[in-house]
A and B are shown apart, each in its own frame.
Chain A
Amino acid sequence: MARKIRLGWFSFSCCEDNTVLFAEILNDHFFMVQEKFDIIHAKVLQNVNKWEEMDVAFVEGAIANKEQEETLKKIRGLSKTVVAIGSCACTGMPSASRNNFDENTIHEIRFIKEKFNMLDKVHPLKDLVKVDMEVPGCPMDEAKFLEALQAIIKMYGDQ
């Protein structure tokens, strides 16, 4: 039997629509995922989550504070392939709406930004780390995600 592919699933600033869509994709693909993947880290799905080497990390959401930036870099360091999923991870928007606020609104939200150590601007993943694949869409494009998943199975499934 081929070894299981080590998968991580991570969410940063976003509405987690890609996670919800993944849960819907599992309606048809649950047993394939269960058979082929070893879920190393996916807080939304399991209570034992490890910080270990992964073949693939699927990452949704934009990066809005320092802690998220550090966690993203940690994920990059542990993962052979990083896949940005959904619009916020790929482009920053719509989570990056505040990047375009006028001066008054920026002043209005300044206290919160400071109190919670938010970065000056909200970033897509590729601003901060190397991203190997992107699945755009809001939520991510279902067909393109399945293509990416198949590509990952080809890359790591037969090793």
Chain B
Amino acid sequence: MIKVQFFSLLRMLLKQERIELSAIEGETVAQLLARLQKQLPTPFLHKLLDDDGRMHAGTIILVNRHNIHHLQGLQTPLNDNDVVAMFPPGAGG
């Protein structure tokens, strides 16, 4: 299984903190997001990606605690038992 966690505004938008999906061999973060969007009733992909499928600034995506910016971005491959976290941190102070 892959555990997906939603934080802050994403949690509020989706009205849930987490979801577990079966792992699919070779699946990437981008493919997981597309699968999530089909499964969840609330549109959320537009908060993460632009029309060309590139990430907006704002929400960080961590796979097993590591930001995908420092992995393979949206093409980061996922494996069984991975934890994917999505979090739009606050910038003010």
Partners in one complex: no
Q: Which residues of B contact A (CB under 8 A)?
A: none
